[in-house]
Amino acid sequence: MSKLLPLAWLALLGAADAAAQSDTQSGSVPATAQQPAVKSAADGNQIQQVTISGGRVDDMTERRNSVAGKQIYGREELDRNGDSNLGDVLKRLPGVTLGGRPGRGGDVRMRGMGSGYTQILLNGERPPAGFSMESLSPDQVERIEIMRGPVAEHSTRAIAGTINIILRDGYQQRDKQLKVTDSIEQGRHAPNISLTVPGKTGSLTWLLTGSVFENKQHDQTETHNTDTRSDGVVTKDENVLDQTKRETRSLHLTPRLSYKFDGGDTLNFQPFVMVSRSDGNARSDLTQTPGVVPAALQLPPEYNLALTDSHSESTFLRGFGNWVHKLQGASKLDVKFGFGTGHSDNDSLRYQYDNAGKLLNRYTDTATVRDRSANSGGKYSTPIGKEHSLAAGWDIELGHRAETKTSVDKDGNAQFADSGDNLTADTRRLAVFAQDEWDISAQWSGYAGVRWEGIRTTSSSAKGGDISNTSSVLSPLLHAVYRIPGHDKDQIRASLTKSYKAANIQDLIALPALSRLNSATRPDRTGNPNLKPELATGLDLAYEHYLGRAGILSASGFIRDINDLIRRDITLQNTSTGPRWVSTPRNIGHARTKGIELEAKFQLQELMADAPAIDFRTNYSRFWSSVDDIPGPNNRLDAQPKQTANVGFDYRMKEAPLTVGSSLNWTPETLIQSSLSQLVYTSRKRSFDAYALWKFNARNQVRISANNLMAEDAIGANTVTTNGLAQLANTVNQTYTVWSIKYEMKF
């Protein structure tokens, strides 16, 4: 909409444009407006006509304008391959890898750094406890934002970086959308139905998004366990074949409501509901290799056959809201609020038999977790002249967890000391921040911020008493962009930041997680209430060259200097049920990691006029790391590969309404000395995906896709050497190709 404005208002409009940010939950990006047109008024004075656009700028423009480096991936990337879960989308993005084997997801990692180094946000907020991004459908997501360096308005618990998942909003969508998908793995069907309904009544705008799906999976793992003394004598040689089947049913709802008041204030609210039920059964066959272990040292196996039935259910509800209040001039106050509640229940019954079919033992395990949380925050932003955009704010989050675990054998004997006890834990997080974005000149833009964040965790149990852990971190943050004169498509980025990784609540106070085939390679896991946060100083540099509408060539490098690194030690401990191998986290010292990341993305037709309609995308990353207190040569950060790469293309045919594409994700094998006694090997990972999209018309289309077409086995080895005994577990996990067909309709 165009408005004729007096010249006196131009300064105010310019300040408002500098202060406008990307939507309230996605970090700061300068807004853009069309250039004003000069007209003549009746009195002869010149006035200017300004066209203001209320829509969000495109992904590449937003990335280019952001002072703190940020990559944006919208609906085009989310819809391209017809993925059924968000993990398959993330694994193709620059610098992002997934733990675990292909097709089964795992923890999300940036720069190859394992769980906890990468901060995952949902609408700019921490997701509820127990939330798994693998369970989130791409249909529920509006866009993904990847930030390599932290910013003050988000938590700086982001040593590797931040992935911010923005759920669907209702401001640009006009049509109802229905998506029906069926995925097939090993002949097992996994149907999925997703519906999106936008609407508006007066000042109220809404977007209702929901999906319901069922998933059936089968997994098979073969493990060869050997124990060898320092004199070369083998004391154990056994094979374990584990097979599991599970069926999961889930319902996800993500409605969004937005109300615009007459004075210009806006109230937004978006709840997120996830309900999941799962039933499974497992079979474990254990056989000993004859003739390898001397008869005098041969011990009877713990079992020959184990059968397990399990049931789990979980419900998570999280509400996000914010109220944007316009103040005098172009200042505004954005007040956030939220709440979360969730519960999960897990039950399993395991029977163990000898080779004659006699019952050896029966284990009954139950676990119940209840979580509640509430949070509030706000950001006051105001322009200072035409160059500065100043913001300051706060974050408060309170959480409460109640957890009960019970584990008994067939005689009713408890399997650990606190079995059946109720453990409660409370967390309190408080943060304050300030930041200033400054357009220094036509070539330079800068960002300076500081954030103080404190976390206190307290827990109590019937036998253990009260335990508390308190930590706080002050994080100064600097970002800068230099636009090269005479080269309007080229710019250089630099960042100097402080960030940290706090110990999660499970590592601090969780009840033990028992291993039913306990050994040094399959230990129990427990917590450590004395853990300190890992602190990191980071330097990031990047060169970016933009191509056409949506293309980019970039090269970046980073370094992270980490203190108080957390690692797990494996020791043999005396417990109430006898000696058991236990894995316990502790701070071990200093580490450093560095790397380079290359990205190329472009449309061939923008480079050559007569070229076919092919879009290319590729990225490559190389990482180095070392841990001071662990001897080399493989003393790398836990689970960090040396390299990772992606390459893909999309081809839109002229003679038919057909688009085809494929992508290859590659991670080489890794060998990591994770502690003084443990060496871990992981085989290479190659995941080849392909799709074909047929558009019947503007409102109907069908997408056929295949994930993990190579279906290579995932091989691993875990060696623990302690007390003159080397325990080795070689594992082979099968992976499978998943075929999907998706029908998408707008109406």
| Region of poorest pLDDT, from 106-110, 207-211, 389-393 | 106-110
Distance of alpha carbon 568 from alpha carbon 580, whole angstroms: 16
Q: Give percent of the chain above pLDDT 70.
A: 90
Strand partners, 380: 333, 392
Q: Are 72 and 94 in contact (CB under 8 A)?
A: no
Averaged over 646-661, what is the pLDDT?
94
Distance from C-alpha of 90 to C-alpha of 78, rounded to nearest angstrom: 9
pLDDT of 5 reads 30
Asked whether residue 487 carries a pLDDT value surpassing 50, the answer given is yes
C-alpha 271/C-alpha 253 separation (Å) is: 8
Would you say 449 and 436 are in contact if contact means Cβ atoms under 8 Å apart?
yes
206, 200 Cβ separation under 8 angstroms? yes
Q: Which helix (H) or strand (E) holds 312?
A: strand 305-326
Q: Quick check: 610 pLDDT over 90?
A: no
Tokens representing 608 are 């050559």
DSSP state letters, 421-484: -EEEEEEEEEEEEEEEEE--SSSEEEEEEEEEEEEEEEEEETTTEEEEEEEEEEEEEEEEEEEP
Cis peptide before 633 (omega within 30 of 0): yes
Radius of gyration for the alpha carbons in the chain, expressed in angstroms and rounded: 28
Per mean pLDDT, which of 50-59, 168-177, 335-344, 508-517 is the most reliable? Answer: 335-344
CB 426 within 8 A of CB 458: yes
Q: Is pTM beyond 0.75 here? A: yes
As a whole number of angstroms, the longest Cα–Cα distance in the chain is 110
Q: Evaluate if residue 63 carries a pLDDT over 60.
A: yes
Count of alpha carbons within 13 angstroms of residue 160, beta-carbon side:
24
pLDDT tens-digit readout, 99-154: 888 877 778 889 988 768 999 898 888 876 666 776 677 877 888 999 999 999 99
Q: In 3D, which of 276, 159, 179 has the Cα closest to residue 625?
A: 159
Nearest to 447, CA basis, from 433, 460, 437: 437
Per the structure, how many domains does the chain have? 1
Give me the pLDDT at residue 500, please.
95
Question: What is the spatial distance between Cα 641 and Cα 70, in angstroms, rounded to a whole number?
Answer: 23
The rounded distance, in Å, linking the Cα atoms of 670 and 644 is 11
Q: What is the CA angle 72-75-77, rounded to 5? A: 70
3-state secondary structure 151-192: CCCCCCCCCCEEEEEEECCCCCCCCCEEEEEEEEECCEEEEE
What H or E segment, with its residue span, contains residue 705? strand 700-707
CB 595 within 8 A of CB 623: yes
CB under 8 Å to 138, separation ≥6 — which residues?
A: 78, 79, 83, 84, 85, 86, 89
- Mean pLDDT, to the nearest integer, of 376-385? 92
Contact of 638 with 626, CB cutoff 8 Å = no
- 481: pLDDT strictly greater than 60: yes
Q: What is the DSSP letter of 134?
A: G
Output the CA–CA distances (angstroms, integers) from residue 511 to 132, 208, 455, in the order listed. 20, 39, 21
SS in 3 state form for 321-373?
EEEEEECCCCCEEEEEEEEEEEEEEEEEEEEEECCCCCEEEEEEEEEEEEEEE
Q: How far apart are CA 144 and CA 163, in angstroms?
A: 7
In 3-state terms the chain splits into helix, strand, coil percentages (rounded to 5) of 5, 60, 30
State yes or no: pLDDT of 189 exceeds 60.
yes
* Residue 533: domain span: 2-746
Spell out the residues 6+ positions from residue 423 whose beta carbon is closer than 8 angstroms to its own. 402, 403, 404, 459, 460, 461, 509, 511
Identify which of 47, 37, 105, 43 has the alpha carbon closest to the alpha carbon of residue 708: 105
What is the rounded CA–CA span in Å between residue 514 and residue 507? 14
At 251, list the tokens.
């319902």
Give the mean pLDDT of 617-631. 94
Assess contact for 622 and 595: CB atoms under 8 A: yes
> What are the DSSP calls for 7-46, one per residue?
GGGHHHHHHHHHH--S-TTS-------PPPEEEE-TTS-E
Q: Which of 67-81, 231-245, 318-332, 379-393 has the lowest mean pLDDT?
A: 67-81
Q: What is the DSSP letter of 567?
A: E
Give the pLDDT score at 19.
34
Q: Is the pLDDT of residue 446 over 90?
A: yes
Q: pLDDT (tens digit, 9 = 90+) per residue, 333-359?
A: 999 999 999 999 999 999 999 999 999
Q: How far is residue 155's CA from residue 473's CA, in Å, rounded to a whole number?
A: 10
The answer to whether the Cα torsion of 352, 354, 356, 362 is positive or negative is negative
Rounded mean pLDDT of the chain?
Answer: 87
Q: Supply the pLDDT for residue 135.
A: 64
* 202 φψ region: left (φ > 0), alpha (ψ -120 to 50), beta (else): left
Pairing of strands 685-697, 161-167: unpaired
3 state DSSP class of 140: helix
For residues 254 and 270, give the distance between their C-alpha atoms in angstroms, rounded to a whole number: 7
The answer to whether residues 116 and 504 touch, using CB atoms and an 8 Å cutoff, is yes
| Confidence grade of residue 170 (pLDDT, cut at 50, 70, 90) | low
- What is the tens place of the pLDDT at every residue in 672-726? 999 999 999 999 999 999 999 999 999 999 999 999 999 999 999 999 999 889 9
Angle at 229 between CA 237 and CA 635, to 5 degrees: 95
Query: Beta strand pairing status for 388-408 and 422-438?
Result: antiparallel
Residues in the chain: 747
* 538-542, 557-561, 639-643: least confidently modelled range: 639-643
> Per-residue pLDDT tens for 24-61?
333 333 333 333 344 444 444 444 444 344 455 688 88
Helices (H), 22-153: 59-65, 75-79, 86-90
Query: What is the Cα–Cα distance from 735 to 345, expressed in whole angstroms?
Result: 28
- Helices then strands, counting H and E runs in the chain, come out as 6, 37
Among 29-43, 389-403, 498-512, 514-528, the minimum mean pLDDT is found in 29-43
CB distance 388 to 438 below 8 Å: yes
Report the CATH number at residue 51. Answer: 2.40.170.20
